Amino acid sequence: MDKTAVVHGRSSVAQTDPLFPGYPFDQHLVAGITPIVSGGPLDFRIDRPHGMKGFILNMTVRGTGDVFDGDRSVRCERGDLLLFAPEARHDYGRADGHGEWFHRWVYFRPRGFWSPWLQWPGASRHIGRLHLHGEALRAEFEDLFTRVDQTHRGGRPTSQELAINQLEHLLIRCVEEAPAQATRAIDARVQAACQFIARHLARDLSLEEIAREACLSPSRLAQLFRDQMGVTIVRWREDQRLILAKHLLRSSSTAICTVSSLVGYDDQLYFSRVFRKRVGVSPSEFRRGA
Ligand code: FCB
């Protein structure tokens, strides 16, 4: 298809690089890294007076940025995460007097049940902010951003779905690392249930046991949990198990059968089946970096 269009008598080519103005952002997810170096081709301010249609999650990985929300400026350094709500005005770039600003970002249209993960405490009303303390945590998040990006460019028919799945992981980790007020929207009894499940991931807790811990009847807990978290308890526990399994597979040499039982699957074959279905590859392929 010829992408050249004639606009006002001038020939213009559709922008295919999301780092430059004019890119349409017409997908559910677009991810990348913007390496701004003083005097370089990307050393301009990204100015969107009406924001964007979707959210942007932004992490400074190097250097210093300056983000203006229409009222005030916020400095960003390594480990700062920002979440721009749709239509949130933003105007940002390398901070004056600093040689570079590298940031990783994910632009996305959220799924409905993500809303509890998108209520961050603010740098301003429409821009949430989270600071990651410690290099291990920063490296983990940088890796999560990179994975969303790489998965998305993976060239598989399912790449977009898998990248959305990785983004869910990233957003959940953000919620886990956010100060307590970020999770204020979640009912304390649902939080108690989550903590109880997370502490006993290796056990097959019954709904009754979890409900007792949360001081609710099983049916009330099941309903409240679904309303607030957007997923069932069983699904949430499965997510947590897979998150832990992925972490153990990549960060340790623990045998796969041990990983399987540590995260609550006594039957390794069943674990591998669930893992492949949800992650797209087998546990051993995942460990090898597939
Ligand atoms: C790119 C910017 C990046 C982010 C995405 C959505 O052009 O470099 O910061 O805003 O757009």
Task: Spell out a b/e string for 57-79, using b for 16 or more CB atoms within 10 Å of the CB, else e.
Answer: bbbbbbbbbbbbbeeeebebebb
Q: Whose CA is nearest to atom 2 of ligand 1?
A: 19
pTM of the model: 0.62
CB-based burial label for 134 (10 Å; 0-12, 13-18, 19+): exposed
Q: Whose CA is nearest to atom 4 of ligand 1?
A: 105
Per CATH, the homologous superfamily of domain 3-176 is Regulatory protein AraC (2.60.120.280)
Residues 6+ apart with CB under 8 A from 123: 67, 69, 74, 82, 129
User: Helices H, strands E: what count in the chain?
Assistant: 9, 11
HEC string for 7-18 = ECCEEEECCCCC
Euclidean distance between CA atoms 80 and 103, whole angstroms: 10
Residues 6+ apart with CB under 8 A from 273: none
Q: Which atom of ligand 1 is nearest to the CA of 103?
A: 9
Cβ–ligand 1 contact at 19 (below 6 Å): yes
Of the candidate CATH numbers 3.40.718.10, 1.10.10.60, 3.40.50.720, 3.40.710.10, the domain formed by 188-287 belongs to 1.10.10.60
Contact 167, 108 (CB under 8 A): yes
Per-residue pLDDT of the chain (290 residues; tens, 9 = 90+): 333 333 344 445 678 999 999 899 988 899 999 999 999 999 999 999 989 989 999 999 999 999 988 778 889 999 999 999 888 889 999 999 999 999 999 999 888 778 888 888 776 668 889 999 899 999 999 999 999 999 999 999 899 999 999 999 999 999 999 876 444 567 889 888 998 998 898 999 999 999 999 999 999 999 988 877 767 899 889 988 988 898 889 888 999 999 999 999 999 999 999 999 888 899 999 998 76
Q: CATH 1.10.10.60 occupies which residues in the chain? A: 188-287
Instruction: Using most ligand atoms within 8 A of CB, pick from 17, 46, 53, 61 the residue to mutate for ligand 1.
Output: 46
Cβ–ligand 1 contact at 46 (below 6 Å): yes
Q: CATH 2.60.120.280 occupies which residues in the chain? A: 3-176
Euclidean distance between CA atoms 39 and 46, whole angstroms: 15
